[in-house]
């Protein structure tokens, strides 16, 4: 956690130093920051949509696989139960 806070502090100090020593006027810097903020917002919006789509498809795939595995488990359980029941019945009657 300390690393994260150090990284964040370094990032903030770097941005502040860059703004102070920038070779352009404050108004131009603010305009540029505004434009970059809009671009970043647009990119993050599309990235969020992509991540949601991927998460939705991944969720449906995991559910499908889990359902298949559950069905296979039930089939194996049923076969094993039937096999054991028949063996028990034969052993009980002495037909082994």
CA atoms of 48 and 59, how far apart (whole Å): 16
29 has a pLDDT exceeding 80: no
pLDDT recorded at residue 23: 74
> In the structure, what pLDDT confidence band is assigned to residue 73 with cuts at 50, 70 and 90?
very high
User: What is the pTM for the complete model shown?
Assistant: 0.46
Give the mean model confidence (pLDDT) for residues 6-29: 82
Percent of the chain whose predicted confidence (pLDDT) is above 70: 99
- Which residues are CB-contacts of 96 (< 8 A; sequence separation ≥ 6)? 90
For residue 32, pLDDT over 90 is answered with no
DSSP string covering 18-58:
HHHT-SS-HHHHHHHHHHHHHHHHHHHHHHHHHHHHHHHHH
Is 96's pLDDT higher than 70? no
Are 62 and 56 a contacting pair, CB within 8 Å?
no
């Amino acid at each position: 956690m300390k690393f994260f806070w150090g990284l964040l502090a370094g990032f903030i100090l770097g941005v502040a130093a860059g703004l102070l020593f920038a070779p352009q006027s404050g108004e131009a810097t603010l305009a540029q920051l505004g434009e970059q903020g809009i671009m970043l917002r647009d990119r993050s919006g599309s990235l969020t949509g992509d991540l949601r789509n991927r998460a939705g498809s991944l969720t449906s795939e995991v559910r499908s696989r889990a359902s298949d595995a559950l069905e296979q488990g039930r089939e194996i359980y049923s076969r094993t139960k039937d096999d054991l029941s028949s063996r028990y019945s034969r052993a009980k009657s002495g037909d082994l």
